[in-house]
Amino acid sequence: MAKSRFSETPAPGVEFAYEGELLHSEDSAFQHIDIYEHPTFGRTLVLDGAVQTSERDEFLYHEMLVHVPLLCHPEPRRVLVVGGGDGGTIRRVLEHPTVTEAVMVEIDERVTALSREWMPSIGGEVWDDPRATLMFDDGNAYVHADGEPFDAIIVDSSDPVGPGIVLFETPFYKRCLERLNPGGVYVAQVGSPIYFQDEMRMAFDNARAAFSDVRLYLGHVTTYPGVVWSFMLCGEQLTVDGAEAGARASERKLTTRYWTPEIHAGAFGLPGIVVDGLSGGSKNPFSS
């Protein structure tokens, strides 16, 4: 099969380009979906031209999105995942033996169907796990409906553009807080802390209008623009302690390739350029 080139342009004059074999392409009811075979990253999922995950680097993203919040909670039992149709997030959630029920609400059923067909290693056996409940529905509507509370809400969504922007606005954050048990935690990916500072700051400011404790932390995802990626942890009174998280990880017998207790603690230490971005100090982080 012929090679195809796909790329993202996060800023003027900047391009992150990849070349691989296009295995599948279609328009779902919500977005354009491509799946490539990449020589370095293996099967790669691309939605509306933006890389979402790959077989070989998905653990970088999913471990930081899931393990950091769940290890900040002493005993997460019910967990909600909004988005995450490839299965990587809910798979990591169910690695925590304390979890008795995990609900995944994904708006696009085709993302899950194609991920299961072309990239089965990402979700693994999660689709047959009796603790997992899969729903194909609007995550915002699900959160605003009545239902039992959760110990953690994990939002694994696309960027804050188009209809998905409601997942980054204060009314959604306020409703998530209402859907959490006391001591519950909320987490979401909030983009590149360099290229998407406006979006990151918008999410951070909107979340602070709902939660009393909002903290940004960083990880690395090799297929995302700029590699460094930001996540937002929210709650009423968060405890972020590497040693405590490490003890919980050991007790829960977690096996990780990226996350460590040291990474857990250090991820909340933000570079000055990111702190400046959160304060709105500069719209262009590379300005003099």
Give CA–CA dist 55/59, Å, rounded. Answer: 8
Angle at 278 between CA 272 and CA 281, to 5 degrees: 75
Query: How many other β-carbons are positioned within 10 Å of the β-carbon of residue 75?
Result: 12
CA distances from 122 to 18, 57, 169 (A): 20, 10, 29
Helix axis angle for 272-279 and 197-208, nearest 10°, is 60
- Please identify which of the residues 86, 151, 156, 241 carries the catalytic annotation: 156
Cα angle 143, 133, 232; round to 5:
45
Residue 128 a catalytic site member: no
Helices (H) and strands (E) in the chain, counts: 10, 12
Quote the CA–CA distance of 53 and 69 in Å, as a whole number: 20
Concatenated DSSP letters for 92-130? HHTTSTT-SEEEEEES-HHHHHHHHHH-HHHHTTGGG-T
Give the CB-side neighbour count of residue 41, counting CA atoms within 13 A.
25
Q: Interhelix angle for 197-208 vs 170-178, to 10°?
A: 50
Q: Establish how many alpha carbons lie within 13 A of residue 217's alpha carbon, considering only the half-sphere containing its beta carbon.
A: 23
CA–CA gap between residue 228 and residue 64 (Å, rounded): 12
The catalytic residue positions are: 156
